[in-house]
Amino acid sequence: ETGVTQTPRHLVMGMTNKKSLKCEQHLGHNAMYWYKQSAKKPLELMFVYNFKEQTENNSVPSRFSPECPNSSHLFLHLHTLQPEDSALYLCASSQGTGGDEQYFGPGTRLTVT
Amino acid sequence: GENVEQHPSTLSVQEGDSAVIKCTYSDSASNYFPWYKQELGKRPQLIIDIRSNVGEKKDQRIAVTLNKTAKHFSLHITETQPEDSAVYFCAARLNNAGNMLTFGGGTRLMVKP
């Protein structure tokens, strides 16, 4: 499946590092999302972008900084993370925020040491 | 905001039996209820969804029922097969919340051959 791609697939970083996660969608969608998936927790919506504009920031700590340069690309910049930030970070896209189905990427497995 | 509870958290059935997963939601303004399936190590994928103007929807072995009065909806899988083994997530979307989904905690379904 190549509709929504994410890189890297795995990332190990120290608490003082700065890294970025990348998401790209090839579906012509206008809305993109970042989710956090932790063990034994629901999928947590972090950010929503619609036509490159951020429409939702779900009370996410400032150590997570999203960037959406165009409708096809979404980044999540990470700095001074905590061990509890270790999780699977999933990107998704949909046909506008009124579109129903969200197409997920494969995720980036992040480990903060 | 919306709150979605999902039960059970794990479910083990024998191949050929039926499986039922139930979700309750808190906000009566929610009008769209998708179900996602996430196989081990893979991305979540939409398998079926239902809108608030419909009480039931069926797609081959999968069906979803919605009770708006009680604010709960359920996923029914009949004639389960080993390939149905996965984590299933329900979600709810508020009427005026774009495409922001609130997910349930997930149900790990194991189908024993």
Nearest CB to B104 within list A31, A42, A45: A42
Task: Find chain A residues with C-beta within 8 A of B91's C-beta.
Answer: 43
Per-residue b/e over B23-39, b at no fewer than 16 CB within 10 Å? Answer: bbbebeebbbbbbbbbe
Express as a percent the part of chain B with pLDDT over 70. 96
pLDDT at A2: 73
Q: Kindly tell me if the per-residue pLDDT of A1 is higher than 60.
A: no
Map A40-88 to HEC letters. CCCCEEEEEEECCEEEEECCCCCCEEEEEEECCEEEEEEECCCHHHCEE
Cis peptide bond prior to A42, omega within 30° of 0: no
Nearest to B101 by CA among A58, A108, A18: A58
Predicted local confidence at residue A58, as pLDDT: 73
Q: Assign A25 to helix, strand or coil.
A: strand
The beta-carbon neighbor of A99 closest among B6, B99, B105 is B99
> Which pLDDT band holds residue B96 (cuts at 50, 70, 90)?
low
Decide if A88 touches B, using CB distance below 8 A: no
Q: Chain A contacts of B43, Cβ < 8 Å?
A: 1, 4, 90, 104-107
A contacts of B54 (beta carbons < 8 Å): none
Is A57 an interface residue toward B (CB < 8 Å)?
A: no
Mean pLDDT of chain A: 90
At residue B27, what are phi and psi to the nearest 5 degrees? Answer: -100, 115
Q: How many CB contacts within 8 angstroms connect chain A with chain B?
A: 57
In our burial notation (b when 16+ CB lie closer than 10 A, e otherwise), range B64-80 reads bbbeeeeebbbbbbeeb
Rounded distance between C-alpha atoms, residue A84 and residue A32, angstroms: 24
Q: Which residues in chain B have Cβ-Cβ distances shorter than 8 Å to A41?
A: 105
Whether the CB of A28 is below 8 Å from some CB of chain B: the reply is no
Does the beta-carbon distance from B98 to A56 stay under 8 Å?
yes
From B55's Cα to the closest Cα of chain A, the distance in A is 18
Could you identify the residue written with the tokens 């979307």?
A: B93
* Mean pLDDT, residues A60-83: 94
Residue A12 has pLDDT above 80, yes or no: yes
The span from the CA of B22 to the CA of B90, in Å, is 8
As a whole number, mean pLDDT of residues A89-107 equals 86
In the block, residue with structure tokens 């927790």: A41
Are the C-beta atoms of B51 and A102 separated by less than 8 Å?
no
What letter does residue B1 receive in the DSSP assignment?
A: -
Query: What pLDDT is stored for residue A73 in this prediction?
Result: 96
- Top pLDDT among A51 and B87 is at B87
- CB of A38 less than 8 A from some CB of B: no
